[in-house]
Chain A
Amino acid sequence: MGEDKPCSRMNPTHREALELPSRNPTADGNAGHNPDWTRSRGEANPAPPAGGAIRPRSAHARRYNTSPLLRSLKTACSLRGGSPAMFAELNELLNASPQRPETGWQVDEAAAYVGVSDMSLLNAGDTRYYPAKDFWQFPTSSCSFCSVACRWKEPDSRRERAGGKFTLLRDTRTDGSFLVHHFLSFYLRAGCKVCFVALLQSFSHYNIIAQKLGVSLTAAEERGQLVFLEGLKSCLDLWFGEQEEQSGKPSPLQFISKSTSDLKALFDFVQVSLTPASSDSWKGPVLLVDDLSVLLSLGATPVAVLDFIHYCRVVVCSQLKGNIVVLVHSNEDSEDEENELVVNSLCHHSDLILWVEGLATGFCKDVHGQIKITRRVSLELTGEQDVVQIYQYKIQDKNVTFFARGLSAAVL
C-alpha cells in the first residue's frame, strides 16, 4: 500500500515528550504541539489523491495540529457536507473510508486453512479436498452440509487474491453492539449492498440508532440496498404461523423448530440476498451478523455455526468479493465451551479482530471500555506478526470517541 506500517509510528504522546517535529507539517506551517489528539481533525495530506474533496479547515483544526497517527479525513468526512457520523475516529483507526470499502486485506486464499468441521476426521487423516469451483455446490452425500474437514485446494502457485475482509467483533464483559451500528451505517454510506442478519433486537431499535448516525434503514430497504432479516419477527412467524410455512418460501430460521441442526436455510437466504441482480449498481456485498452466539442458544451446534460462516465466507468474500462482519460474545472464564470454541475458531480465520472489553478495574464513567484492534498480517505469511493496537473509548449519544490509554477525560 505504500504507507508506513502502524508499528513503526510513534505514539503521539511520546513524540511530543521527545519534542520531535510532527510527521505532517500543516499547510500553514504550524509545527508541533498536539496536546489533545483526540480532538484534532486530520488535514489533507500535502498531495491528496485526485478526486478527493478537501474539507476546509476550521479554526479549531488549525490550532491543533494533525497527529501522525490520524489518517486524513479527506474521504470519510467530506461526504457531501453531511454529518460526520458513524464514528469517524474508528474509521481512521481502521484506515477505512466509505469511498473504498472493498479494499480487503490481502489474504492468501491458498494458504488460509478454513473450516475444520470435524476434528476427528482430521486426526484420522481423512481430509477431503474440494476443488474450488465445486465448492459451492453442496455435496449430495448423506451428511449434506459440510460436515467433513475441508481445505482449500491450491490450484496454482501461491498467488494473492484480493478477497473480501472478514471482520470479527468480539466483546467481553461489555456490550459491543455499537460497533455493529458503526459498520452498518458505514457500509450503507459507502453504497454497498448489505444483508443484515439481526437476531437480537427489533428493526426499530437499529433504525433509531442509525438515524442518529445519519442513515435511514427504511429508505435503504426501499431502494433495495439493505436486506434486513429481523430474527425475532421471523421466529414468531415460524413458531405461530402454520399457514405460511406451506405456502411461502422456507423460513431462514427453520432450524429452530425442525430437528435438523444445520443452518442451510439461513445460508440460502444470505446467498440469495447478496447475489447481485442485473439491475443492481451497488458496490460489493456485505454480510453483517448481529450476534452469532444467539444461534448457539437456539439449538445450532457449534459445528453448524462454523460451517455456516465458512460457506458465507466462500460465497461473500471470495466469490462476490464482499466483506463479512460478525459479532460474538466471549468471556475468558466463561463456562460456555461451545461458544468459546466458535469464537476461537473465528479468531483464527478473521482478517481483522475488534475486541471490546470492559475495563478490568471496574466501572468508570469516562472510559467505557477498551478496544483491541488486531490486524491479522500474519495470515499473509510474509513473516510478520499481527499488529495489535489498544485504545480506550467512551460512548456518547451519537458518537464514540477513541483515545489512547491513559488519556481519558477522567485523567487529563
Chain B
Amino acid sequence: MAAAAGGAARGRGATSFQRKAAAGSRLATVAGTRPSVRHGQLLLSSGLPSLDCVLGGGIAVGTLLLIEEDKYGFYSSLLFKYFLAEGVVCGHDLFVASAKEHPDSILKELPAPLLDEQRNELGEEATAVKSEDFQDSMKIAWRYQNLPKMEASPTTSTKFGHYYDLSKTMSPELFQPIKWHSFYLPEELSLQPTVKTRSMNSAYGRLLLSIQRIISQEGFDGSDPQKKQKNILRIGIQSLGSLLWGDDICCSDTPEDIHSLTKFLYVLRGLLRKSLSACVITIPAHLIENKAIMERVTNLSDTVVGLESFIGSERETNPLYKDYHGLVHVRRIPQLNSLICDVSDMKDLAFRLKRKLFTIERLHLPPDLSDTVSRTSKQELAGSAKLLSSGCGAMAIGKKHLDF
C-alpha cells in the first residue's frame, strides 16, 4: 500500500501495469475498471460500449476526453449523462460542474441502467431487425466473416460497460451510496464573491481550486494511505468555454484572454495525471470562432471526439444518411506509455438514437435500389429528360445520364 501511495504521488506509476502478480490483483479491486493490455493503464467505461470500442477499450484513468458539442448540444449532453450514469452504476465518485443547469437536475435525469431481463428483450428486438446478417457462418459473403463487429446491440453481457434505457430515469436508490460533489457556477459566485485567481478567468480558477480540493481531501491522489478501497473520481464539466463561464471565446473573434482555457486544460491535465480520476468535458467548438484556440485545445487533450448532428442541416433529408442522426469524428486518440497509439481501422462513424438506445456505428451507405446504374437522383433525370424533349441536345449530353 505504501508503495502504491508513493507511486501514485510520483506520477502514474502506481496504477500502471506491473509485472508482479500481487500488484496485479490489487489493480483489479477497483470496481468498474479493467487494465489495458496495450498500455497498462486502467480503463473506465464511458457509458457507451460502442464509444469504448472506438476509443480503444475505454477512457484511461488520468486522461481527459473532450467532446465537441453538436450544434444544439442535444447529443453531447446525452454522452455526458451516460458517463455519469456509468459512474453511478460502478460505484465511482462523481464531480459535476456546470454553469448552465444545476448539477442536481443533471443527476436527476440520468438514464436508468438496463437490467438483465430487459436487456434480453431489447436484444431480441435488435436481432429481429438484423437477423439476415446475424448468422453463424456466412455462405455467400464468406469473405466478410472475419470483419470486426462493433458492439452496438446489447446481446452480449459485459461487466465492463452497461447499457442504459433513455426512456426511464435512474431510480434514487441506485444513487444513495454514491458520493458526489457539484460545482454550480452561479452558486459559487454568490457564496464566495471574491477569490484570488492569478492570470486566469476567475470561473476556471475557482473550478480548478474546487477540483484540487476534492482530489486531495478525498485522497484520490494517493495522499491518504489509510484508505483500503481505492476509488475513481469521474469529473464531468459541461459546456466549458461558453459564455456562461465568463469566457468570451465563443462570441468574439479576438477574445480578451485567449490563454485562459488552454491554461485551465494544462493544469487540469496535471491534476488528472497525478490522481485516480478521469474527466469528460463538453465544449461548444462550433461557436469558437478563433480556430487557433481549438487547435491548441485539441493538442492539450488526450482524446477528442466531435459530434456533428444532422438536425437542421441539409443532410437530414439526404437519403444516404436516413438511418443515422449524425456523424462522429474522432480527432485524437491518446498515446500513453507506448510509441504507438491504438488507432482503430474504422474512420467513418455515425451515431443514431433509437427509441431507447444511443449507438455509434460504422457508417454504412444504404443500398442503391434505383433502376439507373449511376447514383444520380431523380431530379437530375427529370431535368435531362426535359432538356432532351425541348431540343437542346448539347446540354443534355453534358448531364451524366446516358441512355442508349
**Interfacial residues, chain A to chain B (CB-CB below 8 A):** 175, 177-178, 181, 201-205, 207-209, 212, 230, 232-233, 235-236, 239-240, 256-259, 293-294, 296-299, 329, 331, 334-339, 362-363, 365, 368, 395-398, 400
Tell whether, in the assembled complex, residue B296 and residue A363 are in contact, meaning their CB atoms are under 8 Å apart. Answer: no
Tell whether, in the assembled complex, residue B11 and residue A209 are in contact, meaning their CB atoms are under 8 Å apart. Answer: no
**Interfacial residues, chain B to chain A (CB-CB below 8 A):** 10-13, 16, 40, 198-199, 208-209, 212, 259, 262-263, 266-267, 269-271, 273-274, 290-292, 295-296, 299-300, 335-341, 343, 345, 347
Q: With a CB–CB cut-off of 8 A, which chain B residues contact A294?
A: 266, 299-300
Tell whether, in the assembled complex, residue A396 and residue B339 are in contact, meaning their CB atoms are under 8 Å apart. Answer: yes
Q: With a CB–CB cut-off of 8 A, which chain B residues contact A299?
A: 199, 259, 263
| Distance of A259 Cα from B274 Cα, bound (Å) | 27
Question: Can you list 22 contacts pairing A with B, beta carbon distance less than 8 Å?
Answer: A202-B274, A203-B11, A208-B16, A209-B337, A209-B339, A212-B338, A232-B274, A236-B270, A239-B267, A258-B198, A259-B199, A294-B299, A296-B296, A297-B263, A297-B266, A297-B299, A297-B300, A336-B291, A336-B296, A338-B292, A396-B339, A397-B339
CB distance from A90 to the nearest CB of B (A): 12
Tell whether, in the assembled complex, residue A202 and residue B339 are in contact, meaning their CB atoms are under 8 Å apart. Answer: no
Q: With a CB–CB cut-off of 8 A, which chain B residues contact A201?
A: 273
Q: A204 contacts which of B16, B291, B335 (Cβ < 8 Å)?
A: B16
| Distance of A267 Cα from B328 Cα, bound (Å) | 43
Tell whether, in the assembled complex, residue B262 and residue A233 are in contact, meaning their CB atoms are under 8 Å apart. Answer: no
Tell whether, in the assembled complex, residue B263 and residue A236 are in contact, meaning their CB atoms are under 8 Å apart. Answer: no
The residue in chain A whose Cβ has the minimal distance to the Cβ of B292 is A336
Tell whether, in the assembled complex, residue B199 and residue A365 are in contact, meaning their CB atoms are under 8 Å apart. Answer: no
Tell whether, in the assembled complex, residue A256 and residue B199 are in contact, meaning their CB atoms are under 8 Å apart. Answer: yes
CB distance from A357 to the nearest CB of B (A): 16
Q: With a CB–CB cut-off of 8 A, which chain A residues contact B273?
A: 201-202, 232
Tell whether, in the assembled complex, residue B10 and residue A235 are in contact, meaning their CB atoms are under 8 Å apart. Answer: no
The answer to whether residues A232 and B270 also contact, given A336-B296, A397-B340 and a CB cut-off of 8 A, is yes
The residue in chain A whose Cβ has the minimal distance to the Cβ of B333 is A175
The answer to whether residues A208 and B337 also contact, given A232-B269, A235-B270, A294-B300 and a CB cut-off of 8 A, is yes
The answer to whether residues A335 and B292 also contact, given A204-B16, A235-B267, A363-B347 and a CB cut-off of 8 A, is yes
| Distance of A294 Cα from B335 Cα, bound (Å) | 17
CB distance from B17 to the nearest CB of A (A): 9
Q: With a CB–CB cut-off of 8 A, which chain B residues contact A363?
A: 343, 347
The residue in chain A whose Cβ has the minimal distance to the Cβ of B15 is A204
| Distance of A307 Cα from B295 Cα, bound (Å) | 24
Q: With a CB–CB cut-off of 8 A, which chain A residues contact B209?
A: 240
The answer to whether residues A205 and B341 also contact, given A257-B199, A299-B259, A335-B291 and a CB cut-off of 8 A, is no
| Distance of A368 Cα from B339 Cα, bound (Å) | 12
Q: With a CB–CB cut-off of 8 A, which chain B residues contact A178?
A: 339
CB distance from A338 to the nearest CB of B (A): 7
The residue in chain A whose Cβ has the minimal distance to the Cβ of B271 is A236
Q: With a CB–CB cut-off of 8 A, which chain A residues contact B11?
A: 202-205, 230, 233
CB distance from B23 to the nearest CB of A (A): 14
| Distance of A208 Cα from B36 Cα, bound (Å) | 15
Tell whether, in the assembled complex, residue A204 and residue B12 are in contact, meaning their CB atoms are under 8 Å apart. Answer: yes
The residue in chain B whose Cβ has the minimal distance to the Cβ of A338 is B292
Give 8 A-B pairs besides A204-B12, A208-B40, A258-B198 with Cβ atoms closer than 8 angstroms: A232-B273, A236-B267, A240-B209, A259-B199, A296-B296, A297-B259, A335-B292, A398-B339
| Distance of A201 Cα from B262 Cα, bound (Å) | 15
CB distance from A402 to the nearest CB of B (A): 14
The residue in chain B whose Cβ has the minimal distance to the Cβ of A398 is B339
Tell whether, in the assembled complex, residue B266 and residue A298 are in contact, meaning their CB atoms are under 8 Å apart. Answer: yes
CB distance from B15 to the nearest CB of A (A): 10
Q: With a CB–CB cut-off of 8 A, which chain B residues contact A177?
A: 335
Q: With a CB–CB cut-off of 8 A, which chain A residues contact B340?
A: 368, 395-397
CB distance from A368 to the nearest CB of B (A): 8
Q: B295 contacts which of A204, A240, A334, A397 (Cβ < 8 Å)?
A: A334
Q: With a CB–CB cut-off of 8 A, which chain B residues contact A204?
A: 10-13, 16, 337
Q: With a CB–CB cut-off of 8 A, which chain A residues contact B263?
A: 256, 297-299
Q: B345 contacts which of A207, A296, A365 (Cβ < 8 Å)?
A: A365
Q: With a CB–CB cut-off of 8 A, which chain B residues contact A368?
A: 340
| Distance of A256 Cα from B16 Cα, bound (Å) | 30
| Distance of A399 Cα from B321 Cα, bound (Å) | 42
| Distance of A299 Cα from B292 Cα, bound (Å) | 13
CB distance from B69 to the nearest CB of A (A): 20
CB distance from B104 to the nearest CB of A (A): 28
Tell whether, in the assembled complex, residue B10 and residue A203 are in contact, meaning their CB atoms are under 8 Å apart. Answer: yes
Q: With a CB–CB cut-off of 8 A, which chain A residues contact B199?
A: 256-259, 299
The residue in chain A whose Cβ has the minimal distance to the Cβ of B270 is A232
The answer to whether residues A334 and B274 also contact, given A202-B12, A297-B300 and a CB cut-off of 8 A, is no
The residue in chain B whose Cβ has the minimal distance to the Cβ of A178 is B339
Tell whether, in the assembled complex, residue B292 and residue A337 are in contact, meaning their CB atoms are under 8 Å apart. Answer: yes
Q: With a CB–CB cut-off of 8 A, which chain A residues contact B341?
A: 175
Select the residue from B335, B341, B345 with max chain A CB neighbours within 10 A. B335
Tell whether, in the assembled complex, residue A339 and residue B345 are in contact, meaning their CB atoms are under 8 Å apart. Answer: no
Q: With a CB–CB cut-off of 8 A, which chain A residues contact B295?
A: 331, 334-336, 339
The residue in chain A whose Cβ has the minimal distance to the Cβ of B40 is A208
Tell whether, in the assembled complex, residue A298 and residue B259 are in contact, meaning their CB atoms are under 8 Å apart. Answer: yes
| Distance of A34 Cα from B263 Cα, bound (Å) | 53
Tell whether, in the assembled complex, residue A209 and residue B270 are in contact, meaning their CB atoms are under 8 Å apart. Answer: no
| Distance of A55 Cα from B292 Cα, bound (Å) | 51
